[in-house]
Amino acid sequence: MQSLFILSDSGEVLIEKHWRKVTSRNLVDLFLHEVARCGDPADVVPVISTANLYLVNVYRSKLFLLCVLGGEQPPLLVMEFMHRVMDVFEEYIGQVDDVSIKENFSTFYQLLEEMCDNGFPMTTESNALKERIAPPSISGRIAAAVSGKSAVADELPVGQPSPVPWRRQGVRYNVNSIYLDIVESIDCIIGRNGAIVSCEVNGELLCTSKLSGVPDLSLSFNDPWILRDFSLHPCVRTTRFEQDRTLSFIPPDGAFTLMKYSVDPRQFSSEGPSSGRRTFGNVPLPIYCKPQITSSSREEGRIEVMVGSKPLAHLLPPKKSNEVEKITIIIPFPKTVRSTDLKSSHGVVMCDETTKECRWEIGKMPRDGSCKLTGAFTFLPGSPAFDETLTVLLQFKLADCSVSKISVSDLQVNRESYVPYKYVRSILKAERVEVRA
């Protein structure tokens, strides 16, 4: 990697870091021209080739991370590094945006110095980074202003030469505990007839370890063979995992992502007897969404969205009665729409006249199990005829639910005499469920 630029969605350069050679900002202008040509940041191609350089970009949290490569390199490795940079930034300060980057510029610049050496990814574990660079705090800023001392540690961490570089030495806790979160996100497209056209289910195993010493953990699942496309943390012993799908590892101290995976789509799909096409009738969605768009003329139209709950007995474990939370409906209207007038029976409706996006935040479903949004919208004068094609985005969250039905069957702690407190929970999220009106 030659250089890294962090840009706001408006094109302002917030941070630029050069390792091998100073890169001209003309390449940033070239990239911004490509962004303006695409319109939507999600449509920008991830790798842009120039005469002598390659531009690899990631769009996250309304920020562009643009990496300049001096030669051919694995693009997925570069993207993973940029995502790791954002993960570390978020772990240091929480929400990352253009304002927080300007307020903590020196901390972020020091982190980039430690995370990459001469263009090669080096220290990317937050445990090791926090031993070198202290997270920003009010007390730390006051002490730095009085003493003039930076947040960088004067001495190298003791645990750096250890054969386990992701875990610091001398960890001690009064109460030993480990928390595991199985978070699965479902992305699917629902056609006009209510049938699911395509579906993907991705999951990750989040771990928060507060264990003393150097414990050696062994974690097994009830039915791991339905999972595929694994991405494992460097602490996992891959040889043992390939044999029997058991996660054997020495955990880092604190929060980290132990594993990412995807669920085999054949678990939810079946091949039609006549057409031969694969249908996804077994996808367990806890709520339904039925949008309807009508347009009587080129001047105005009407919209109606009905949202309701489905039975949850087949989704939740026995003796569980959780409710669907954080239900949100996003309606991206065309740019030809001038104004909207929408009302809902439950929740809050917010419309952005600049982006032409309506956001209906329902939260939890009302007691009757359904709610409705109705309203009208008008078009700009001289707009083309509306073809009545619109896609509504559905988001929600359901605790104690796992689409893959995966669960932890056993978790053992070796090399240590204590018995830690263990807690495992499952969470189902809808990141992007598209419903065609």
pLDDT in tens, 201-254: 899 999 999 999 989 999 999 888 888 888 898 889 999 999 888 999 999 888
- The model's confidence at residue 296, banded by pLDDT at 50, 70 and 90, is low
pLDDT higher than threshold 80 for residue 127? no
Whole-model pTM over 0.85: no
Residues of the chain with CATH 2.60.40.1170: 177-269+402-436, 287-399
CATH topology assigned to domain 287-399: Immunoglobulin-like (2.60.40)
The model's pLDDT over 88-117, given as tens digits with 9 standing for 90+, comes to 999 888 888 889 999 888 889 999 998 998
The Cα 429–Cα 325 span in angstroms is 10
pLDDT attached to residue 15: 92
Q: What is the dihedral of CA 95, 100, 101, 106, to 10 degrees?
A: -110
- The model's confidence at residue 270, banded by pLDDT at 50, 70 and 90, is low
pLDDT higher than threshold 90 for residue 193? no
- The model's confidence at residue 311, banded by pLDDT at 50, 70 and 90, is confident
Between 131 and 184, whose confidence is greater?
Answer: 184
- For the chain, the distance separating the N- and C-terminal CA atoms, rounded to the nearest angstrom, is 44
- The model's confidence at residue 6, banded by pLDDT at 50, 70 and 90, is very high
CA-to-CA dists, residue 241 to 142, 218, 411, angstroms: 48, 10, 14
Between 106 and 136, whose confidence is greater?
Answer: 106
pLDDT attached to residue 205: 93
pLDDT attached to residue 159: 43
- The model's confidence at residue 79, banded by pLDDT at 50, 70 and 90, is very high
B/e letters for 4-42, b = 16+ CB within 10 Å, e = fewer, are: bbbbbeeeeebbbbebeeebeeebbeebbeebeeeeeee
**Paired residues of 256 in beta bridges:** 207
Residues of the chain with CATH 3.30.450.60: 3-147
Residues 6+ apart with CB under 8 A from 135: 92, 93, 107
What's 177-269+402-436's CATH class? Answer: mainly beta
Q: Running DSSP on this structure, what letter comes out for residue 233?
A: -
Q: What is the mean pLDDT of residues 361-370?
A: 85
- The model's confidence at residue 318, banded by pLDDT at 50, 70 and 90, is low
Phi, psi (deg, nearest 5) at residue 36: -65, -35
Burial tier of 84 (Cβ tally within 10 Å: 0-12, 13-18, 19+): middle
Segment among 192-196, 328-332, 415-419 with least mean pLDDT? 192-196
Other beta carbons less than 10 A from residue 241's beta carbon: 17
pLDDT attached to residue 271: 56
The Cα 420–Cα 179 span in angstroms is 10
pLDDT attached to residue 50: 86
In 96-244, which ranges are continuous DSSP H helix? 98-103, 105-115, 126-132, 138-147, 238-244
pLDDT higher than threshold 70 for residue 366? yes
The Cα 220–Cα 424 span in angstroms is 13
- Torsion sign over Cα 242, 243, 246, 247: negative
Mean pLDDT of the chain: 83
pLDDT higher than threshold 60 for residue 337? yes
pLDDT attached to residue 247: 92
Segment among 52-66, 316-330, 358-372, 396-410 with least mean pLDDT? 316-330
- The model's confidence at residue 273, banded by pLDDT at 50, 70 and 90, is very low
Taking each continuous run of H as one helix and of E as one strand, the counts in the chain are 7, 25
Q: What percentage of the chain exceeds 90 in pLDDT?
A: 28
- The model's confidence at residue 323, banded by pLDDT at 50, 70 and 90, is confident
Side chain identity, residue 239: T
CATH topology assigned to domain 3-147: Beta-Lactamase (3.30.450)
Tokens of 301: 């139209």
Q: What is the mean pLDDT of residues 36-56?
A: 86
Q: What percentage of the chain exceeds 70 in pLDDT?
A: 86
